[in-house]
């Protein structure tokens, strides 16, 4: 009986992890007992609580999806390299509301000028991760947007390329034409219109900013495009081989304080939030000061984003 119960549960489970750049990946279908335990092992491997302990209790058990509470998850995309843990160049607040079956994805410009808790002077917001890992990144975003963020998902940017390959590539709509700066292949042309991306091309697509007149803002749009394309591609998989490949990529490149039980509740109670995704880019003004390029976000805009997130959290 125990085997049958777990097998039944595994057939219902949707892999909900999120990646960033941010990346949440939801994959669903009929999975065998083997996949259930593979997922459980991967979840244990990537689990990293805030400050070495759980910051919040697990997502509460619900009698039905309609009583599940809205939540915020901070998605961090980090370009890790040998001997350099990197900075969180991608920061997205994902606000999931199961009552409205919607998800607000709020991008934060990496050059946003802030005062990082515990550090003097001003820094770019992406430095919070470099200074104090995931806990300080979460704390900084909570401070400026005046919101509670109980969960985070961090992904190594190279893992994005591997993830795109694991789902068989993705198609996105590119709104400008440009020649690659060398992130993928110098001189390669990303043409305007619908284009197919494998992992390496996807990495070049989400990293480019200098040839986009919108700068970081344009890059954040492309990041959300790839995240959503992976979501759409991954959710239809029923192949054990494909699922195992995805789990291997996640195990090597993702950390999160979501427990396996949290992921199962996300899979059951929050799975329809991907049906309506709302994109928002935190507005700021690029400014060159003291030899440094910043994005200046006003107090009014921080408050505006706070209000949007609160509205999403409280929508019925």
Q: Which domains does the chain have, with CATH numbers?
A: 2-314 (3.40.630.190)
Of 82-96, 161-175, 218-232, where does the model show the most confidence? 161-175
The overall pTM is greater than 0.85: no
User: CA-CA distance, 94 to 106, in Å (whole number)?
Assistant: 7
Beta bridge partners of residue 81, listed in sequence order: 84
What is the per-residue burial (b if ≥16 Cβ within 10 Å, else e) of 261-280? ebbbbbbbbbbebbeebeeb
Instruction: Give me the pLDDT at residue 125, please.
Output: 97
Residue 245 has pLDDT above 80, yes or no: no
Residue with tokens 């400026």: 144
User: Two tokens at 265?
Assistant: 């509740």
Q: What percent of the chain has pLDDT over 70?
A: 80
**Higher per-residue confidence, 308 vs 262:** 308
Band (21; pLDDT cuts 50, 70, 90): very low
Instruction: Give me the pLDDT at residue 5, please.
Output: 44
Instruction: Give me the pLDDT at residue 9, please.
Output: 37
Band (14; pLDDT cuts 50, 70, 90): very low
Q: How far is CA 81 from CA 31, 84, 117, 134, in A?
A: 35, 5, 25, 17
- As a whole number, mean pLDDT of residues 208-225 equals 83
Instruction: Give me the pLDDT at residue 25, please.
Output: 38
User: CA-CA distance, 28 to 176, in Å (whole number)?
Assistant: 33
User: CA-CA distance, 12 to 31, in Å (whole number)?
Assistant: 8
Band (300; pLDDT cuts 50, 70, 90): very high
């Amino acid at each position: 009986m125990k085997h049958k119960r777990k097998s039944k549960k595994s057939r219902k489970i949707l892999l909900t992890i999120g990646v960033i750049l941010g990346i949440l990946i939801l994959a669903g279908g009929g999975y065998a007992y083997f996949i259930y335990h593979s997922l459980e092992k991967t979840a244990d491997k990537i689990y990293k609580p805030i400050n070495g302990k759980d910051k919040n209790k697990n997502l509460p058990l619900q009698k039905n999806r309609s009583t599940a509470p809205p939540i915020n998850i901070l998605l961090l995309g980090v370009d890790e390299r040998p001997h350099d843990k990197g900075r969180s160049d991608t920061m997205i607040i994902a606000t999931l509301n199961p009552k409205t079956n919607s998800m607000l994805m709020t991008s934060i410009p990496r050059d946003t000028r802030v005062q990082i808790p515990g550090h003097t002077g001003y820094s770019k917001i992406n430095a919070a991760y470099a200074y104090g890992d995931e806990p300080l990144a979460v704390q900084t975003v909570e401070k400026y947007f005046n919101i509670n963020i109980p969960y985070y998902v961090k992904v190594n940017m190279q893992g994005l390329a591997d993830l795109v390959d694991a789902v068989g590539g993705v198609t996105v709509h590119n709104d400008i034409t440009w020649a690659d700066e060398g992130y993928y292949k110098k001189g390669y042309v990303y043409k305007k219109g619908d284009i197919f991306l494998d992992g390496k091309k996807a990495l070049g697509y989400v990293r480019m900013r200098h040839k986009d007149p919108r700068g970081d803002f344009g890059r954040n749009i492309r990041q959300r495009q790839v995240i959503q394309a992976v979501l759409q591609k991954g959710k239809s998989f029923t192949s054990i081989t494909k699922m195992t490949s995805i789990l291997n990529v996640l195990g090597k490149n993702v950390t999160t304080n979501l427990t396996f039980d949290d992921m199962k509740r996300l899979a059951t109670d929050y799975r329809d939030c991907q049906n309506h995704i709302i994109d928002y880019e935190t507005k700021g003004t690029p400014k060159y000061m003291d030899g440094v390029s910043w994005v200046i976000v006003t107090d009014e805009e921080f408050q505006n984003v706070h209000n949007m997130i609160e509205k999403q959290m409280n929508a019925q």
